[in-house]
């Protein structure tokens, strides 16, 4: 018998283990009462949360931790999509993936923190659409090895 156990502790991504889901999502439902999350077989962990963007209305945010990348979220939202602060796939660009770790969200920061960052990004994006001013730091997009593809983004 091999040393690997199927379906045992440590098998599969974090969202396949109930205690890990509880630990990761701790405090998020209390802070964001409309939060709903579930595991979708062959897709990953998906959550939806309604967020009020002060002065700009309500948005529904969808967060996906894909099966092939279970610790790195893809954050999407309804509402206006025109923004230089989005990734090519339309997801929110909330950090620069090649930045130092302390400048990016990390899985260990937790779900509540990720949702709060999403709300902040949506406020900044709405403000930018109205004023042309981005509140906060901006980072380049693209692979730093491909300097021709860099542009301002948030």
pLDDT in tens, 126-136: 999 999 998 98
Closest listed residue to residue 141, CA positions, set 106, 91, 101, 69:
91
Instruction: Find the helix packing angle between 111-131 and 18-25, rounded to 10°.
Output: 50
Confidence category of residue 98, pLDDT binned at 50, 70, 90: confident
Q: What kind and span of H or E run contains 114?
A: helix 111-131
Say which CATH architecture domain 14-153 belongs to. Answer: Roll (3.10)
pTM recorded for the entire structure? 0.82
Give the residue extent of every domain in the chain: 14-153
Coil/strand/helix, residue 12: coil
CB of 74 closer than 8 Å to CB of 97: no
Coil/strand/helix, residue 150: coil
Q: What kind and span of H or E run contains 75?
A: strand 74-77
């Amino acid at each position: 018998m091999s040393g690997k156990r199927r379906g045992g502790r440590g098998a599969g991504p974090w969202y396949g283990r109930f205690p890990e889901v509880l630990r990761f999502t701790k405090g998020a439902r209390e802070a964001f009462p409309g939060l709903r999350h579930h595991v979708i077989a062959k897709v990953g962990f998906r959550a939806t949360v309604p967020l009020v963007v002060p002065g700009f209305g309500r948005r529904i945010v969808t967060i996906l931790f894909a099966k092939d990348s279970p610790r790195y979220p893809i954050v999407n939202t309804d509402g206006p999509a025109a923004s230089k602060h989005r990734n090519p796939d339309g997801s929110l660009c909330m950090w620069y993936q090649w930045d130092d770790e302390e400048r990016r969200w990390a899985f260990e920061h937790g779900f509540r923190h990720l949702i709060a960052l999403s709300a902040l990004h949506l406020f900044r994006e709405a403000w930018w659409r109205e004023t042309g001013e981005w509140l906060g730091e901006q980072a380049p997009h693209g692979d730093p090895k491909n300097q021709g593809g860099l542009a301002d983004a948030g």
